[in-house]
Each structure stands twice: as C-alpha cells, then as structure tokens.
Amino acid sequence: MIAVMIGGAVAMVISLIGSRYLIGFFRLRGKGQPILGKEDRGPDHHQSKSGTPTMGGLAIVMAALIGWLVAHGRSGLVFSDQALVIWGAVLVLAFMGFLDDYIKVRKSHNRGIFWKKKSYITLGLSIAIAWVLVSTTSISQNVSITRANLPGWHLPWFIWIFYAGVIIWATSNAVNVTDGLDGLAGGSALLGFLAFTIIAYWVFRNPQVYHDVVNPLDLAVLAASFAGACGGFLWFNAAPARIFMGDVGALGIGSALALLALTTDTQLLLILICGINVMEAGSVAVQMGVFKASGRTKRLFRMSPIHHHFELVGWPETTVIIRFWLISGVCVATALALFIGDFTHIDLPRVTCPPGSVTCVVAPTP
C-alpha cells in the first residue's frame, strides 16, 4: 500500500509543477487551443476559450510515469511485463495526440493533420498494442467482468487481439470526445483510475481468487500514479481552465484506462467505470445516426457530444461538469459494488496453518 501511495503522491506533485510550467511556456510563445466556430459546427459559445494553453496532457503522462518509477524504489515492488506494455502503449498514443495538437496550434485551427484519418490510425495502433500484449505477456484471453472466469468465454488469440484492440480504440476516443468542458475528462478519469487502484490492490491481496492477473500490485501503483497526475492537473484545468489536456492527454489517459481493464480482467466492467465516456461517445453516434437516417434534416440533440446539448438548453458550464462528475461517481461506485459483491459470493479456499509451522496449506474448497 505504501508504494501505491508513493506513486499517487509523487505524480500529483509533479503534475502540479508540470502543469504550471506548461501554462507559462505556452503563454510566453502565444500558442493556445483554437476553438471550432459555427462554420465548422463547433461550440461557438466557447470562443472565449480560444488561445488557452493546451497539451497539458504532457504533464499528466510524464507525472504518472515519474510517480510509477519512483514508487519502484520501495522494496518488494518489481516491474511487470504488462505494466511495461501499458506504458509503451500510452506513450505511443500520447505521441500521436501530441502531433495532432501541435499541428492544430501551429495552423491555428482545431483540425489537425489526422482529422479524417485519426480514427483509422488509432484503431490500427490499438490492434497492434493488443497483439504485443497477448504475444509478450501471459494475459488471460477470456471475456471477463470481474474476474477471468466470469463469464470466462475464451477467445482464440486472433479474435482476442481484435476484441482488445477495439476496447483500447473505443476508450481512447471516448475520453477524447469527453474532453470538451473544463475538467470534465480529467475529473472522470481521476475517478476511473481510483477505481482501478482499488481493484488491482484487491486482486493483489486475494491471489487465490484472481490468479490470472500478473503482478497486480504494479498495476495498482500505475493506476494510482495516473489518479494522482489527473488530480494535480485538475488544479489548473478546473473551470475556468488555465490549460487544456489536448489529444496528448486524452489518448494517453484513454489507453491507460482500457489497458488496466484488460490486464485486471475487468473489460466489461469498464463500461461502468467509464460510464460518462460511454454516454458522451454514444451521444455522438446517436446524433450521427439520426442525422443520416433523416436525410440530414434532423438532429436528436442541439449539439453533440451531449455536454454541449445541456449547455445550449441553459445549464451553466460548471453545472454540467459537476453533474457529469456525479454521474461518473455513481457509475464508478456501482462498478466497485459489482466487483466486491462478486468477491463476497466466492467460496474461498480454506487455509490451514499447522501449530509451530511457518508453512500454511491451501486446502481445496469442500
């Protein structure tokens, strides 16, 4: 537990310092986030935010990495192959987001070079990451909710790669879609990472049940480091935001959440843990479906993602953010309740320790 706390605390401090530095760095150079206007079907009511420093996700990713590394100074915590793959994936997708952010700032337009191809590129990278994960680690290839054997449907490796790739791609893009109001994506991600910290540490403490998860303590430290980094960033990203996370942060955070779900055998539980992101991305899909089905004449929402719809019906931005955080909190709490509730219904193996012996024996469940 001490290593988990070290990772989260160090990451928060580094994120605070890094976010403040990036604000000054970008302001000094006069570079900030361009905002889409009506001509691009964007949130014209956010034009006042144009020029706000962006790419604050650099502070989140780097702070989480430093926190995770520093925590390994604690004896007993070793680097796991799955955590290393997660970091490789986070850095790859974050770098792609950084390129897109850089092009937007350089061209002073909110459509980067990957505007039409970003989805295909991220899907290809996500499938490649899933291939590396299943090829280099002993990750379970079961479809799972709270543990590998529930429901325990085993997938052939080539199907699992596509399945896992879609999860990584969908989560990354859903977090990116959510990142439209000050602190909304960062706050909901903080709750998600806290959930995975609890889940991974619970798994670590009960290896007799979750034996398919490899080095869950390292995963708990990783999740806690991201939670701390998101918390430090929120100090400057909360409304009114002084810095945005940008695609570098959204894609990095989204990939980390998805990969934590895959490595802790809670893939289907991710739908609840990232419930607000599912709602946001789903609103875009529904809006596009209704628009196309009506011959491009009708829309279900005034604007998508759905957080803009509520702004346009009269909710203040801070009201939308706080209420969406509350929805995210309820979703995360429900996910944890399902996870722990499932654990309480498991018949645990009996552990007997003979008198005077330092060795305990795990007996089969009667």
Lowest mean pLDDT among 78-92, 113-127, 187-201: 113-127
Assigned domain for 229 exists: yes
Bridge partners (DSSP) listed for residue 362 = 351
- pLDDT at position 101 is 85
Assigned domain for 41 exists: yes
- Domain encompassing residue 57: 2-273
- pLDDT at position 184 is 94
- pLDDT at position 299 is 87
Assigned domain for 326 exists: no
Number of domains making up the chain:
1
Assigned domain for 144 exists: yes
Per-residue confidence band for 114, with pLDDT thresholds at 50, 70 and 90: low
Lowest mean pLDDT among 24-33, 286-295, 303-312: 24-33
Assigned domain for 163 exists: yes
Assigned domain for 327 exists: no
Assigned domain for 311 exists: no
Half-sphere exposure of 41 (CA within 13 A, CB side): 6
Phi, psi dihedrals of residue 145, rounded to the nearest 5°: -110, -60
If you average pLDDT over every residue of the chain, what do you get?
Answer: 88
pTM of the full structure = 0.90
Assigned domain for 91 exists: yes
pLDDT at 229 over 90: yes
232 contacts 13 by C-beta, under 8 angstroms: yes
pLDDT tens digits along 136-152:
999 999 999 999 998 98
